[in-house]
Amino acid sequence: MTDDHGQRPSSRQLAGKISARLTHLIATLYPDERTRPGYARLAKEIREATGGGLSSTYLWELTTGRKHNVTVEQLGVLADYFGVPPEYFFNEEVALRVNAQLQLATALRDAKVRTLALRAEGLSGETLDALLAMVDQARKLHRLPAVEEPAPKDTTADRGPLP
């Protein structure tokens, strides 16, 4: 036979992607670098929240890219804690979609931001543009990084990552 069997190069290479994904997840969950817990605290929290084991050292090795070929068990623990589907770690598409939701969910954790969003409902495009410009200016004043536009078309609302 010697059939080449499709030979599509996708799907398999995540190769260190995990570090980037983890970094992003942590940064999204804890946007404030000052308040952000360290690897020790985080690992402890993960252990308590999910019941699965995960050492702080290994968490550090993963996020810094020193280890990358994680087993499904640890991957499950990670995905479980961060509230993302396991596919998040090897499916680019899913990752993008979840990232957008994560960003939104994080923003909405702030009660005032939530209120602001609710109030903004129904405003005209021009007014929203003006508000956006103001917000951007405010971010600059606060020395916050600029946000990239998340995926605009999101009709199917699947499982929400964060409460």
Of 81 and 97, nearer to DNA (C-beta) is 81
* Gap between the Cα atoms of 137 and 119, Å rounded: 20
The item of a copy of itself, DNA, none sharing an interface with residue 56, based on CB under 5 to 8 Å by kind, is DNA
Q: Does 121 bind a copy of itself (CB under 8 A)?
A: no
Q: Does 32 bind a copy of itself (CB under 8 A)?
A: no
Q: Single out the segment in contact with a copy of itself by CB under 8 A; choices: 6-14, 98-106, 131-139, 146-154.
A: 6-14
Instruction: Retrieve residue 113's tokens.
Output: 């931001």
Map the footprint of DNA across residues 27-66, applying CB under 7 A. Answer: 36-41, 53-58, 60-61, 64
* Gap between the Cα atoms of 101 and 96, Å rounded: 9
* Gap between the Cα atoms of 11 and 20, Å rounded: 17
CA 92, distance to chain mean position in Å, is 12
Q: Does 20 bind DNA (CB under 7 A)?
A: no
Q: Does 111 bind a copy of itself (CB under 8 A)?
A: yes
Q: CA 120, 124, 128: angle at the middle one, nearest 5?
A: 55
Instruction: Identify which of 10, 21, 6, 11 has the alpha carbon closest to the alpha carbon of residue 89.
Output: 21
Binds a copy of itself by CB under 8 A, chosen from 19, 27, 80, 100: 80
Residue 32 near residue 88 (C-beta atoms within 8 A)? no
Binds DNA by CB under 7 A, chosen from 15, 73, 129, 136: 73
The item of DNA, a copy of itself, none sharing an interface with residue 90, based on CB under 5 to 8 Å by kind, is a copy of itself
